């Protein structure tokens, strides 16, 4: 166990990055504190300094290597990035976004069958005119509403049509 000199919490050795110049061979700050400090320093830089900082990390790398780095990063952080992007789009927290996608469809009660790829999983429905959030829908019901332009009159007419020809 080691104590972080920044947050003063006692943490396991795996929570500290290696550092050859340090007496114990580890940084004195834990990985979390180090990441927070690095992030805040980055955003305090001017745009020119940030550009130079980013270029340093990509120096001597081919486009293919940079692309591979980006793909590895995305694969590692895919769920978190999707939650953050979805939350930003809907104006809610990432935690709320993840929780709402775990709910069953409010129309049919099912869960979306597709779990991978674009447009898969449960959908957080919203009014396209006001952007106000409504409920959680499966992929089929979400597409169905979209095909009827979210118009209750069209949906009622479709239901009446189907009932008319029921055997």
Per-residue pLDDT at 57: 79
Per-residue pLDDT at 58: 80
For the residues of 18-46, what is the DSSP string, one character each? B-TTSTTSB-SS-HHHHHHHHHHHHHHS-
Average pLDDT of the chain to the nearest whole number = 88
Selection from 29, 6, 5, 7 nearest residue 16 by Cα:
29
Q: Per the domain annotation, does 40 fall within a domain?
A: yes
Q: Per the domain annotation, does 76 fall within a domain?
A: no
Per-residue pLDDT at 162: 94
Q: How far apart are CA 69 and CA 147, in angstroms?
A: 39
Per-residue pLDDT at 119: 61
Q: Which residues of the chain register pLDDT less than 50?
A: none
Q: Per the domain annotation, does 123 fall within a domain?
A: no
Q: Per the domain annotation, does 22 fall within a domain?
A: yes
The domain in which residue 11 lies consists of 1-60
Identify the H or E element spanning 80.
helix 63-90
Domain count, the chain: 1
Is residue 125 exposed (0-12), middle (13-18) or buried (19+ Cβ within 10 Å)?
Answer: buried
Q: Per the domain annotation, does 56 fall within a domain?
A: yes
């Amino acid at each position: 166990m080691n104590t972080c000199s920044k947050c003063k919490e006692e943490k396991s050795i795996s929570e500290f990055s290696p550092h050859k110049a340090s007496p114990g061979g580890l940084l004195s700050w834990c990985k979390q504190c180090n990441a927070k400090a690095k992030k805040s320093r980055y955003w305090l830089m001017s745009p020119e300094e940030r550009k130079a900082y980013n270029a340093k990390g990509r120096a001597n790398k081919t486009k293919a290597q940079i692309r591979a780095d980006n793909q590895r990063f995305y694969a590692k952080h895919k769920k978190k990035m999707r939650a953050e992007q979805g939350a930003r789009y809907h104006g809610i927290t990432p935690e709320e976004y993840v929780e709402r996608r775990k709910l069953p469809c409010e129309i049919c009660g099912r869960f979306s069958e597709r779990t991978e790829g674009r447009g898969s999983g449960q959908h957080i429905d919203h009014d396209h005119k006001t952007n106000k959030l409504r409920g959680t829908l499966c992929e089929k019901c979400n597409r169905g509403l979209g095909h009827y332009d979210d118009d209750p009159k069209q949906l009622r007419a479709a239901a009446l049509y189907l009932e008319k020809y029921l055997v």
